[in-house]
Structure 1
Amino acid sequence: MTALLAGTAAVAVPLVLLGSLFGQLRRPGTLAAALRAQRTFPPSLAGPVAAAVLAAEAVAGLGGAAGLLMWRDGPFRAASAAAAVLLALYAAYGARVARTRRGVPCGCAGERTPMTGWVAGRAAAFAALALAGALWGLPGDPTRYEIVTIVAAGLGFAVILWTLPLAMTEERSPAV
């Protein structure tokens, strides 16, 4: 069971971090604008904080993907540990902003998803997956069947958790 969980993390976490990075690069400035709207940093720091976030996502995502593709346990565990820390920070930050600043954008992956508890919960779930990858590493000598199962589980978790906050956003129409 731990091999499946760690394998799922090996696929889902780098995929989501690199997907987020791609979304940010496709829509530059979205994260900095969201940080300014969230008012947790001075406006002048929004750009540098956004750049630091993108760099951290790139390092953790590329490191995890490289460790997975080369099937190197040490680099994979290091990247997973970095991702676990980054995603835990996202979860804590998201929870704080969701409690104190209603209606502000998340800035996640360059999207306009509102910052809600679902965003924080998604980050916490990915942090837990990344921690599993850091603790247990890559599964040892998996069969083809196990690899297919791991990839399918990783893709499934990534898609479900990625779409969760937007799926749980309730749009209210104006009262008539």
Structure 2
Amino acid sequence: MTVLLAGIAAVTVPLILMGSVFGQVRRPRVLPSALRAQGVLPVSLAVPAAMVVIAAEAVAGASAAIALPLGLDGTFRAASAASALILAAYAVYAAYVARTRQDVPCGCAGDDGTPMTGWVAGRAAALAGLALAGAAHGLPDGTSGSEMSVIVAAGLGFAVILWTLPHAMIERSTAG
């Protein structure tokens, strides 16, 4: 079970982080705007904070993604540990914002349509847990080709579910 969980982490976490970086680069004004709307940081720090967040995601996600096919276990563990720290910080921040601010955008992955909710915090916490499993176990080793195909399919499935979770859980009013 631990090998499966670590394998899922090896696929899911870098895929989510790199998808987020892609979205942020594609729509660079969304995260700073969301940070301003969230009102936690001084307005003057919105752009620098966004740049740090995007760079941290890029380094951690790319390092894990590169380590996987090259079999660099130490690099993968370090990238997974860094990812766990980043994602745990996101979970705490998102939980705080969701509890103290109403109707502010998340800004996640360049998406300005998803509000900051507990689902955003839950996704970050789940990803932090997966990243921690990857850091603790390392790269899946000693797995057969069929086992690896299950790991990759499960990792892709988790990535899709976690990527779409906050947006899918938005409750829209049907009153008109």
- Distance (Å, rounded) in 2 between the aligned partners of 1:85 and 1:77: 12
Shift of 1:111: 0.4
Q: Which residue of 2 aligns with 1:99?
A: 99
Equivalent AA in structure 2 for residue 99 of structure 1:
R
Q: Could you list the runs of 4 or more consecutive aligned residues of structure 1 that deviate by over 2 angstroms after TM superposition?
A: none
**What do the CA deviations read for 1:22-80 (whole angstroms, capped 9, x no partner)?**
00011011000000000001101000000000000001000110111211110000000
**What do the CA deviations read for 1:118-167 (whole angstroms, capped 9, x no partner)?**
00000000000000000001111221001101100100000001111111
- Distance (Å, rounded) in 2 between the aligned partners of 1:159 and 1:83: 18
Q: Which residue of 1 aligns with 2:22?
A: 22
Name stretches of at least 5 consecutive residues in structure 2 with no aligned partner: none
Q: Which residue of 2 aligns with 1:171?
A: 172
Q: Which residue of 1 aligns with 2:3?
A: 3
- Distance (Å, rounded) in 1 between the aligned partners of 2:174 and 2:150: 42
Report the more deviating stretch, 32-41 or 134-143: 134-143
**What do the CA deviations read for 1:69-96 (whole angstroms, capped 9, x no partner)?**
2111100000000000000000000000
Q: Which residue of 2 aligns with 1:152?
A: 153
Q: Which residue of 2 aligns with 1:122?
A: 123
- Distance (Å, rounded) in 2 between the aligned partners of 1:128 and 1:54: 20
Equivalent AA in structure 2 for residue 85 of structure 1:
L
Q: Which residue of 2 aligns with 1:37?
A: 37
- Distance (Å, rounded) in 2 between the aligned partners of 1:30 and 1:69: 32
- Distance (Å, rounded) in 1 between the aligned partners of 2:118 and 2:18: 22
Quick check: 1:139 aligned with 2:145? no
- Distance (Å, rounded) in 2 between the aligned partners of 1:142 and 1:53: 34
SS of equivalent to 2:28: coil
TM norm structure 1? 0.98
- Distance (Å, rounded) in 2 between the aligned partners of 1:69 and 1:119: 30
- Distance (Å, rounded) in 1 between the aligned partners of 2:150 and 2:71: 16
| Identical-residue share of aligned pairs (%) | 65
Name stretches of at least 5 consecutive residues in structure 1 with no aligned partner: none
Quick check: 1:59 aligned with 2:59? yes
**What do the CA deviations read for 1:92-123 (whole angstroms, capped 9, x no partner)?**
00000000001000000000210000000000
Report the more deviating stretch, 62-71 or 48-57: 62-71
Q: CA RMSD in A?
A: 0.8
TM norm structure 2? 0.98
* Number of residue-to-residue matches in the alignment: 175
